[in-house]
Amino acid sequence: MSVESVHQDADVAAFESGQLMVYPTEAVMGIGCDPDNEAAVMSLLALKQRPVEKGLILLAANYSQLLPYVDDNAIPQDKRFSIFSCWPGPVTWLLPKSATAPTWLTGEHNAIAVRVTAHEGARELCNKLGRPIVSTSANLTGQEPARTTEEARSYFANSVHYVEGLVGGAAQPSTIKDALTGTTIRN
């Protein structure tokens, strides 16, 4: 068995067992978990001291991975070009949530935050997992986001699973936009 396949197996096993995972994204290290595992998401929120009402971002390799969480039929035709022309890339869109999108992901919102990443390592991770991953910055509330595995280890030690890789060249975390209004939430 190759070293690469051992890492892949460990990443999948960590995800499927509900472990929190630290992984590289476009600008910072992300921390996330299986979006369908409520216990894992609650563990992430507790670790980050983040209220569930705020909602979380889902990171995916392609739009198809996001369809269980997005009400695709509620996206107006005239908004689709703006959304899909930004992907893959560092733009997170607030899209109408599906009827089955868990409230532990959407919080108090009628939308869900989703991004199709251009970061090759994050794309490979989502492809390997066969689905999206919850994505928030790898840091404790009020602290600077980790940009390396070593910085992430200073926050989380051995309490999480680490996916090997380097962050991309983006200077800032993703822009967040509301797809229906065009409003920029975070630039």
In the chain, what are the domain boundaries?
Answer: 3-186
- Band of residue 174 on the pLDDT scale cut at 50, 70, 90: confident
Mean pLDDT value of segment 113-123: 97
Instruction: Look at residue 70 and tell me whether its pLDDT is greater than 70.
Output: yes
- Band of residue 8 on the pLDDT scale cut at 50, 70, 90: low
**pLDDT at site 168:** 92
Q: How many whole angstroms separate alpha carbon 159 and alpha carbon 184? A: 34
Mean pLDDT value of segment 80-101: 95
Mean pLDDT value of segment 47-71: 96
152-159: Cβ within 8 A, 24+ apart: 152/22, 152/29, 152/31, 156/20, 156/22, 156/31, 156/47, 159/20, 159/47
Architecture of domain 3-186: Alpha-Beta Complex (3.90)
- Band of residue 103 on the pLDDT scale cut at 50, 70, 90: very high
Tokens representing residue 37 in the block:
């595992």
- Per DSSP, helices labelled H in the chain are 3-16, 38-48, 77-84, 103-106, 120-129, 149-156
